[in-house]
A and B are shown apart, each in its own frame.
Chain A
Amino acid sequence: MVRAAVVAEPYHVEIRDIPKPSVEANDVLIKVEVAGICGSDLHLFKGTHAFRKPPAVLGHEMAGTVVEVGKNVKKFKAGDRVTVEPQVGCGQCRYCGQGLANLCLNKKVPGTPSWVGTFVEYFVAPEETVYAIPESLSFAEGLMAEPLAVAVHAVRRAELKPGDTVAILGSGTIGLLALLVAKAKGIETVYCTDVVDFNLEMAKKLGAKAAIHALREDPVEKIRSWTDDVGVDKVIIAAGPGTIIDQASAITRRRGRITLVAMITKPIPVYTYSFVFNEQTLAGSQTYQSQDFEEAVRLLSTKEVDVSSLITQELSLAETEQGLKMLADKAGNIVKIVVQP
């Protein structure tokens, strides 16, 4: 048996013993050194997640040490430091055929009946989803490959070009990581917004040209005034209040592109007239493709992207529920909370 943090019912986490996973021929058994709390864990915690329903083991972000490998595994051996891309495409559908496992019609992800979550002592993953991380990275930094892959993919969906002006709405984990990726790609002008001073300070420190408090100031007015009333070329939405799409449209120039990463879980009214009149594009960005995960591991390994300041809290597995509540209430200066099973 191994210990796991399970959402037993909405708003209640229990530490339970679950069976130790078996290691099949293509599998890697990993001792989880750290697992990360992400917004989707909050949705599971609150019982609002689209397909992860209690009771379920939390988590899809992790880094750890290989303890055992299946007989067909070639790339890894016991003792290796690794992180995992938490999705496995079916390999059969038209999307898998195009390398779009993120759109797979039948994909496997952690925290569902087909794959346990990462808030466990030992986690099993197929070899193809496992990535080595160098000694120079802490396990917590290694775990950031997952949210960083989300940001890499979103930035790719945003089709940033040299010289583009960019606004990132929301400076949480994903917003800040998107800022880092955009900067690493040579984008100079990135405006960030948030409603928490700590996150705004982080955005400034990590290279935002300006960080706007979305409630104390009007991001539309500010950004339009800084762009000769034209608007920015690209917007990435990484925050989910009900007015954010209209705000993004008003900030974007005509024929500009808006990329939506934020999970806006309830239907919201959108003034689509503005997209028509301004010939804007709204593109959804769903997790990542393997190429994005690889790129995220590369950016971390080469230190082109330094995420160390984003890891703000380290808790024990027993403190998981507390961590979820802290994140839900934004109690304290929080970006990424990690848990050590």
Chain B
Amino acid sequence: MIGITKQTAAPGATWREDLPVPEVGPGEVLVKVKATAICGTDLHIYDWTPWAQARIKPPMVFGHEFAGEIVEVGQNVTGFKVGDRVAGETHISCGNCYFCQTGDQHICADMKIIGVHVPGSFAEYISIPVSCAWKVSPSVSYEDAAFLEPLGVAIHGVLSGEIGNQTVAIFGCGPIGLMGINVASASGANQIFAIEPIEEKVNLAKEMGATTLLRPGKDDVLQAVMDATNGIGVDVVIDFSGSAKAIQSGLQILRKGGRMTLTGLPNLPVELDLVDGVIYKEARINGTTGRRMYETWLQADKLFQAGKLNLDPAKGGTFALKDFEQAFAAIKAGKPGKMVLIP
């Protein structure tokens, strides 16, 4: 089959046409990949950053955001059949640790990740445990279905606290931030401030339901938010940027008693003013990671069925799998939205 591998322990990726179709083990389904999207994690692997060096064992197919059709069903699989349309959950949880046993398998202490620890989706076929297959209705296109995994990250962050009729500030208008704005809007947020320094990206937030666009560096974010909220600040801040400046600014614009959710991953410690930012405000800062298995998936289904989501502004471009170099180049050039590969 065709596919892209991290072939050697060095930057770049390799196009292959001679890969074996994966074996379908017991409890697994073989999926013909119809669409697969590129994530920040894939950039780490492509660029061979220290993060990737510590985890990836070449040669291996990478990629983990995908949707496709089941073409073969392994032993002991029930509930799935050939022809089912599925989207992939990236996380393979152990089932035995404290967190798996208490209903939080999405934060399993012994997690394996598709495209990181086991072969990924940048290929014609992928074999996955049934626990990673989520059925999608025919009304959802394969491209949208390939967005369900990162959409789930956005949903889990946005819906980790009250959102209806709240004033919300969302930092970062990458694909997940944009989808987060869309989810907040679809869930009845009252006012949505989209905060992102790159003009092209923040402009997309308007189509997602943002009511105010702010560009740090150009706009005075603190002043603008305070003016728009009678000096109170916003009820909810959600960080989808991982930027230290965003987290600091978020704590400033959060109202007393507000909720600040951190989903973006900062790579360095962030200087925090804990007295003004957390204690005097009685702020609640909560981190979210991945998606709940499978509560978040159900939430995504409902939002889709209600016709409330429009993921198009979060789509950066569609490329044939073979043209992956162009897709990676587009991301590096700062093109907004998520790039999709079609095997």
Contact = CB atoms under 8 A, between A and B. Distances in A.
Contacts of A255: 99, 104, 107
A270 B232 CA distance: 26
A276 B279 contact: no
B257 to A, nearest CB: 6
Interface string B49-75: 000000000000000000000000000
A253 B98 contact: yes
A284 interface: yes
Contact of B280 (A230, A276, A284): A284
Interface in A205-232: 228, 230
A270 B268 CA distance: 9
Nearest to B280: A286
B271 interface: yes
Contacts of A283: 278, 282-285
Interface in A231-257: 245-246, 253-255
A19 to B, nearest CB: 31
A263 B275 contact: yes
A264 interface: yes
A284 B279 CA distance: 4
A269 B283 contact: no
Interface stretch (B213-221, B259-267, B294-302, B307-315): B259-267
User: What secondary structure prevails in chain B residues at the interface with A?
Assistant: mixed
A278 interface: yes
Contacts of A246: 269
Contacts of B270: 269-272
A331 to B, nearest CB: 26
A285 B279 contact: yes
B266 A268 contact: no
A284 B267 contact: no
Contacts of A299: none
Given A284-B279, A286-B280, A276 B263 contact: yes
Interface residues of B, number: 35
A279 B107 contact: yes
Nearest to A228: B98
Contacts of B265: 273, 276-277
Contacts of B284: 281-284
B285 A276 contact: no
A90 to B, nearest CB: 13
Interface in A266-322: 267-286
B286 A269 contact: no
Contact of B282 (A245, A269, A272, A285): A285
A264 B266 CA distance: 22
B269 A271 contact: yes
A141 B30 CA distance: 70
B77 interface: no
14 contacts: A228-B98, A246-B269, A263-B275, A264-B274, A268-B274, A269-B269, A270-B271, A270-B272, A272-B247, A272-B269, A276-B263, A277-B287, A279-B104, A286-B279
Interface of A: 50, 94-95, 100, 102-103, 105, 157, 228, 230, 245-246, 253-255, 260-261, 263-265, 267-286
List 3 A-B pairs, minimum CB-CB distance, nearest first: A269-B269, A276-B287, A284-B278
